[in-house]
Amino acid sequence: MSTRILKGVGVSPGIAVGPARLVHWELPRVTRRLVAADRVDEEVDRLHQAVDEVRQLFQDLRTRTHERAGPDEAKIFDAQILMLEDPEFLREVEALIHDNQLSAERAFEFKTLEMRALWAQSTSPRLRQRVADLAGVQLRVLNRLLGRSFEHLLKSEGDQPAIVFMRELTPGLTIQFERERVAGFATEQGTRTAHAAILARGLGIPCVMGLVDAMSQITPGTQVILDGSHGVALISPTADELEAAQETERVRLDIEHQMEASRSEPSVLLDGGGVELRATVDLPEDIDRAEQHGAEGIGLLRTEFFLMGRAEMPSEEEQVTLFERAIRTFPGDQVIVRSYDLGGDKYPAMFNPEPEPNPFLGWRAIRVSLDEPAFFRTQLRALLRARRYGDVRVMLPLVTGVEEVERVQAMLREEAEALATAGVPAASSIPLGAMVETPAAVMIVDRLASACDFLSVGTSDLTQYTLAVDRGNARMASRFEPMHPAIVRQLHDVAVASRDAGIEASICGLMSSDPLGVFLLIGLGYRVFSVTTGALPSVRWVVRQLDGASCAACVEDALGASTAAEVRAALTAGLGERVDLRMLDGGELPDLTPPH
């Protein structure tokens, strides 16, 4: 690959052109300073004053983000605000000051460095992703305590909007840069799910992360093309390359307008076949957004939020209320509730399990629910009661055996009988489905199809477990390949088994929100997708450009491929006949040079 081309991970779509601006920031150096015993209380007061000032700053940034990007993006600052409001964390910093007579800055640095090391080495992707949030808190508080400012980092240089290169981008820096002076962001660290990446998408700023050693390969002022869709930075582009990039961005914006215009159009293939686009709902407030984006029901309603950040189990009534709200929002449509997917990076405080060396291969998902039947039965009762209001269904995560499904079926029968005996209005049964997320589930998919009312393929976990690649590891990003032939063949097997059993098989995960993935899945015969709310317009637009027969013909070539590159080539050739490929997110390295 040319040294002019740097490849990373595209995290915010769009093409930006501008001079490179290198922003070097680092945590301030704190010297060891002791305070006199009679000045310790003053030092604690100084700590709290700095923390209060920074907390107010983040609250102001939250308000500014709500105005510029929207309510969902504004919530990103909640994590940093909560860190500054954590009484246990502050007590431990105070103890360092009292017990060791450390200065406030030294004690705060000591504690945050300890947390940073712990989180960075964690097996939890969620904790690893919060390292950048912690760095933002650390940077602000230490600068306040030391009386320093880094505002000069935010000042623009020159008249032209720049491509800002940094080692790491924090949410606070993302929102504080002058928008009209930033054409795009490029960082050496970070992944698509980093808070700064989510914020860049909300602000509409092209962003590429994971550009390893980019800072050492870029000279300030050098002209750069940044492709946030494909994860590419092209250094010192030629005039022809600049013209090609500008035309590609024009096409992307034009298609974005088409997508917005088709928001209220039905998701129908050119040959008249219907495709059902349901929403993936992470939090209760996403239910209304899903309806506004034209979702046809809910394909995956996560329930882990019930248990996060609280000391007690959610009540049955609390769960019935949420399920009823979702059902009434989508009358006549399916609402599929995923039972608790705990474990891995999502353990509630009340469980406090022993640390596991490999949590994503350990006690998680359906295994936790079956081993802790008391809290699981409460959820099953709530679902049976909510079933009276409409078509709610329950889906089990990380199923690897038919016996797991059978045990839940027995629990449902027992709880339905108990509710009837107690005179509580409830359904006598509820449709039960399994998520296909492991090679084990695929190997016995015909048995699962016979035991279940429906199936749903979790493409992200299926890719992770099949390829043994941690999807939250930026270093492994290029190896996390949903178009690997092993994944394509497994998706084919699930489609065939569900069709033979006469049951529905839907798709959730990142592939259901990716145009090339949707093209593949339609060709394999899938017609039901659970899509993130923000991606519903683009997926609906893509569906309306396709016909089932043509997709199926191209997929035959993909099924015969030996490598992911061959799969992508076959699909790209077919999709390119129907859709301008310049609008695709992800994919192979784009050729920014126009044809001769």
SS (H, E, C) 56-113: HHHHHHHHHHHHHCCHHHHHHHHHHHHHHHCHHHHHHHHHHHHHHCECHHHHHHHHHH
Residue 413: phi, psi to the nearest 5? -60, -45
Catalytic site residue from 195, 230, 484, 492: 195
Strand partners, 338: 395
Going by their DSSP bridges, the two strands 15-22 and 162-166 should be labelled as parallel
587: Cα within 13 Å, side-chain hemisphere: 24
For tokens 């219907």, name the residue: 274
User: Are the C-beta atoms of 38 and 265 separated by less than 8 Å?
Assistant: no
Residue type, 122: S
Cα gap 349→1, rounded to integer Å: 48
What tokens does 32 get?
Answer: 């060891």
Which SS3 state, helix, strand or coil, does residue 250 take?
helix
Amino acid symbol at 64: R
Q: What is the Cα–Cα distance from 211 to 230, expressed in whole angstroms? A: 12
Judge contact between 384 and 416, C-beta under 8 A.
yes
CA gyration radius, the chain? 26
Tell me, yes or no, if 484 is annotated catalytic.
no
CA-wise closest residue to 511 among 493, 494, 526: 526
CA atoms within 13 A on the CB side of 431: 16
Is the distance from CB of 343 to CB of 371 less than 8 angstroms? no
Identify each DSSP E strand in 188-323 by its residue range.
Answer: 207-209, 223-227, 232-235, 276-281, 298-301
Provide the 3-class DSSP secondary structure of residue 10: strand
Q: Which residue has the tokens 């107690």?
A: 422
Q: Catalytic residue at 554? A: no
Catalytic residue among 207, 452, 508, 554: 508
Cα–Cα distance, 477 to 9 (Å, whole number): 7
- Give the residue carrying structure tokens 């491929």: 561
Is 145 in contact with 33 (CB distance < 8 Å)?
no
Enumerate the β-bridge partners of residue 10: 208
The string of DSSP codes covering 210-242 is --TTHHHH--TT-EEEEETTTTEEEES--HHHH
- Gap between the Cα atoms of 300 and 286, Å rounded: 12
Give 428's DSSP letter. Answer: S
Q: Which residues are catalytic?
A: 195, 508
